[in-house]
Structure 1
Amino acid sequence: MHVGLVIAGDIDDGSGGFYYDRRLRDRLRDRGHEVTVASLSWESYPRQLADALRARRIATQLDAIGADVLVEDGLAHPSLVAVNPRVETPTVALLHMIASRARAGLVRYGVRQIERRFLSTVDAAVYNAEATRRAAEAMGAPERSVVAPPAGDRFSPDVSTAAIRERAAERPLEITFLGNVVERKGLDALVEGVSRLDRGSESGRSDGGGRSDTDGRSVDYRLTVVGDTDRDPAYVDRVRDAAADAGIAGRIQFTGRLDDDAVADRLRETHVLAVPSRYEPFGMVYLEAMGFGCVPLATTVGGAAEFVRDGESGFLVAPEDADAIADRLRRLADRERLAEMGTAARQAYEAWPTWTESMDDAVDFFEEVAR
C-alpha cells in the first residue's frame, strides 16, 4: 500500500500532533508500506484558506503521488476544504483535535463552518480520542472511522512503586507545567491556583512564605514551566506579571523548550504534572508523565477523562478554575495520598496501549480503506 500523508507545516515540528504523525509514518514503513509526505501551508489560517485559489493544482499534485489512500492531518483542513472535492484518491482525515474548539467568538464560528465542510469531503476518519470522534460526528464527519489514541511510552521509563513512594516523601511539592506557553494551555489559571496556596484555604493558614496548611502540616511547593515561550510572548508576559503581582515569581522557573532527555529528567523529579488546558483534545503529555508516576492535574475538556480517573490516578479540573487547582494541589500535600495516586497513575500508564499497538490499529484501518 502507498499512503500519501498530507500535513500542514513541517513533520519534524516538536508538537504532539506532529509527533503522532511521525510515529504513524514510521509504523507504516515498518509494516512494509510506502509513505509520501506532502506538506501544505502552515504560516497562518488565512494563508491556508488562500490555498483555495490553487485547489485544482494541489488536487492534481496529490493525485500524482499515486497513493492508494490520502491521510490528511486535520490541521491542514483550511487548505484541503476546496481540494478534496477535486481529488480522486480515497481520503481519510486524521483528527488530533477539533480546531474550532481552540478559538473564541466569531472566529470560532467561522472556523467551525470550514471544519464542518472539510469533514464532509473525506471518506473516513481516524481520531485520537472518543471525545474527538463524538465532536466530529456531531459536525457531520463520516461514520467510517477508528480511534487510535496516542501512547505514553515515548520515554519508556523504568519506575518502580518503591521509587514513586520514595519521591513522594521528598519536599518541596514539585509541580511541572509542560507544553507550549499559550493561552489554551491554561498556565495563567495554574499560576493563579498556585498563588492561592500562599494565601491558604478556609480551613488552613498561611505562613506568608509559600506554605499553607489544611490539616496541621505545612505545604512547600515549586513550579517549573517547560515549553516554548516564543509562540505568544504577550501571553507569557501577562503570566509573568501575574506571578510577580502575587509575590510568587521566585517560586516559578521558566526553562523554555527542552530536549527529550531533559524532559525525562524533569519528569523523574516531578510529583504533579499540571496542565489545566482550556481544551486538550487528548493530552499525551499527561499519559507520558503518568509513566513516571507523576500525578496529572488535567482538564475536563477533551480526552483526558478517557485515561485519568479523577481522584484516583489524577485530577480533572474545569478550565480557569483556580480554586479547584489550589484545592487539588493541597490534597496532594498529603504525601501518602500523593504516593498512592502516583502509583495508580503508573498502573494506568502500563495498562494503556503502546504506540506500536495503537498505530497498528490505524494502519489496519488504512488497509481496509485502500481495499
Structure 2
Amino acid sequence: MPPAGGDRGGMYAERHGADRRGGTSLLYLASHIRPARTGGERYNLHLLAAAAAAGVRVCECAYSDHPLYRWLAQRCGLWRLCRPFAFLWMQFQIVRHRRRVLLFDAWTAPLVWPGVRLVRGRYLVIAHHLIGDMAEGALRRAWGMAAERGLLRGAAAVLTVSRASRAQILQRTGGRGCVDVIHPAFTPVEGRTRGGGGCVRLLFVGHFTRAKGVEELLQAASGLPRDRPWVVELAGRDDVEPATTARLRQMRRASGLEERVVLHGRLDDAALRERYLCSDIFVLPSHREGYGIVLLEAMACGLAVVATTAGAIPEVVEDGVRGLLVPPGDVAALRDAMARLIEDERLRAALARAGEAFARAHPDWAGMERQCVAWWRSRLPLPAG
C-alpha cells in the first residue's frame, strides 16, 4: 500500500503553515490523492512520504474531497459544473496559501493557470507526462498547452520520471527551468507466469482510452491468424472514456472476436495477479507513456512484451532484447509483432528471461524514496538537523 504521506488538511490546511511552526511547510494541491488509483498517483504518495522523511511538514488538499464537488458529480445534469468548480477552487487555494511552498501535478495546469503567476518561483511541479496537446477541440488544446508551458516555466523545479519526459518538458518550455529525473519503482507481482497452457494469452493492463492504443490493439487482434489458439484480455478502468469502451465492444462484435477478446474492466489486486500469472505476452500499444510501470510488472512475472516506441517505453523495453517495439498507431506492425511472438515460443522465452532480469534489478519503493528525500533536501530550505 502507498505510504501515509501527510495530513489531510482539506480546505482548512493553514494550521500547518510555516509561520505557525517554523521550518518548511508544503501544500500539495491536486484533484485526487488517496487512495492511489494509478501508478502516477502511487508515485506522488511516495514523493510526499519522502518529503515528510526529509523534515518537511506536508499537507494535502484535493478538490474531489470537497462536499460541493461530490454533490455536483452525483447530480445528473450538474456534473458539467465540476470542472468550473475545480478551476475556481484551485485559484482560491493558490491565493489563500500563497505564502507556502506549493506542489502541483502538471496535468492540473489548466486548473491552476493563471493563478500560479502569483507564486512564480515558489512552487514545485511533478510531471509524469504532458497532456496539454491531448485536449479535444482547438481552443481547449491551445489553453492546455499554454497553461502547461506557464506552469512549468514558473516552477522553482520540476520532477519527472524519465529522460523522455524530461526532454518533452524542456521542449515545451523552450529549455527553461530545472528538470530532475527520478525513476518510479514498482511492487512486483508475487509468482511467475505459468502461461496459458495450450492457448497463448495476450494481456493488456491500463485505462481503456485512445491514448493507451486499445482500439489499435483490437484492430491488430482482428488480423491475427485464427488457426492458432490465442486470447487477448484487457484489464483496467473502462469508465474513463465511455465512448472508447463502447467502440471496443462494437469492434469486437464486428470482427467476430467475442470468443477471442475478453474485456475484463477493472480488476482487484488478486484477480489482476491471476491474469498476469496465466498470460504469455503483455501488450502495451500506448501513444504516450511517462514510464510504464505495468511493463515492469509484466516483465517481472516473466511475460514477453510487445509495446510501442512512445515516450519512455524504450528506456524500459530494449527492442529485440527485452521485448518487441513498434511505432505508435501502426496497426500492421503491432499485428506482426503479436503474431511473431504467438508463433515463436523460443523468442518469447528469450525476451521474457531478459525482461525479468531487468525488472527484478529495478529499484524498489524504499530505494526511490531515498532518492526523493535527497531531492527534497536539495530543493527546499529545511530546518537544521
Scaled to the shorter chain, the TM-score interval is 0.7 to 0.9
Give the partner amino acid of 1:195.
S
Task: Quickly say closer, same or farther: Cα 1:62–1:291, change in 2 above 3 A.
Answer: farther
Amino acid at match of 1:265: E
Which residue pairs with 2:208 in the alignment?
A: 181
Paired residue type of 2:378: E
**In structure 2, what is the equivalent of residue 25 of structure 1?**
48
SS across alignment from 2:177: coil
Among 84, 89, 93, the alignment partner of 2:116 is 84
Q: What amino acid is the match of 1:82?
A: P
- Structure 2 counterpart of 1:170: 197
Give 2:165's match in structure 1, choosing from 132, 152, 166.
Answer: 132
2:218 matched to which residue of 1? Answer: 191
Q: Which of 352, 357, 361 is the matching residue for 1:351? A: 361
Total equivalences in the alignment: 343
Distance in structure 1 (CA, Å) of the matches to 2:216 and 2:171:
30
2:14 corresponds in structure 1 to none
SS in 1 for 2:211: helix
Taking the aligned partners of 2:82 and 2:320, their CA distance within structure 1 comes to: 44
Provide the C-alpha distance between the structure 1 equivalents of 2:117 and 2:86, rounded to a whole number of angstroms: 14
* CA deviation map 1:239-262 (0-9, x unaligned): 111121111121111222111222
Written as runs of structure 1 = structure 2, the 5 A alignment for 1:47-196 is 57-63=92-98, 66=100, 69-87=101-119, 90-103=122-135, 106=138, 107-140=140-173, 142-152=176-186, 154-159=187-192, 167=194, 170-196=197-223
2:279 aligned residue: 270
Deviation at 1:115, TM superposition (A): 0.9
Cα offset, 1:340, TM superposition: 0.9
**Secondary structure in 2 aligned to 1:181?**
coil
Change (3 A) 1:93 1:238: same
Distance 1:316 1:104, change over 3 A: farther
Does the Cα contact within 8 Å between 2:223 and 2:335 map onto a contact in 1?
Answer: yes
Matched, 1:16 2:26: no
Alpha-carbon spacing, 1:220–1:190, altered in 2? closer, same or farther (3 Å): same
Q: TM-score, normalised by structure 2?
A: 0.81
CA distance in 1, matches of 2:220, 2:120: 52
Aligned pairs for 1:302-321 (under 5 A) are 302-321=311-330
Could you tell me how far apart the structure 2 residues matched to 1:36 and 1:54 are? 16
Give deviations 1:90-122, integer Å, cap 9, x for gaps: 311100110124346624333111211111221
The amino acid across from 1:235 in the alignment is T
Pair 1:260 & 2:295 matched: no
Contact 2:201 2:230 in 1 (8 A): yes
**Which residues of structure 1 form unaligned runs of 5+?**
199-209, 212-218
Question: CA, structure 1 residues 114+50, in 2 after alignment: closer, same or farther (shift >3 Å)?
Answer: farther
Please say if residues 196 and 279 of structure 2, whose CA atoms lie closer than 8 Å, have aligned partners that are also in contact. no
Name the counterpart of 2:58. 35
Alpha carbons 1:273, 1:295 under 8 Å: kept: yes
Compare 141-150 and 302-311 and name the one that shifted more.
Answer: 141-150
What amino acid maps onto 1:16 in structure 2? G
Aligned residue for 1:204?
none
Identical-residue share of aligned pairs (%): 24
Gaps of 5+ in 2: 1-23, 74-78
Of residues 2-11 and 188-197 in structure 1, the stretch that sits farther from structure 2 once superposed is 2-11
Contact 2:201 2:232 in 1 (8 A): yes
Tell me whether 260-269 or 106-115 shows the greater mean CA deviation.
106-115
Letter in structure 1 aligned against 2:94:
A
For 1:58, give the aligned amino acid. Q
Equivalent in the alignment of 1:214: none
Match of 1:330 in 2: 339
Q: Aligned equivalents of 2:348 and 2:98: distance in 1?
A: 54
* Residues 295 and 316, structure 2, Cα contact 8 Å, conserved in 1: no
Superposed CA offset, 1:255-275 (max 9, x none): 221112221221111111212
User: 281, 285, 288: which one pairs with 1:279?
Assistant: 288
TM-score with structure 1 setting the length = 0.83
State the match for 2:5 in structure 1: none
Shift of 1:50: 6.6
Contact 2:196 2:280 (8 Å CA) reproduced: no
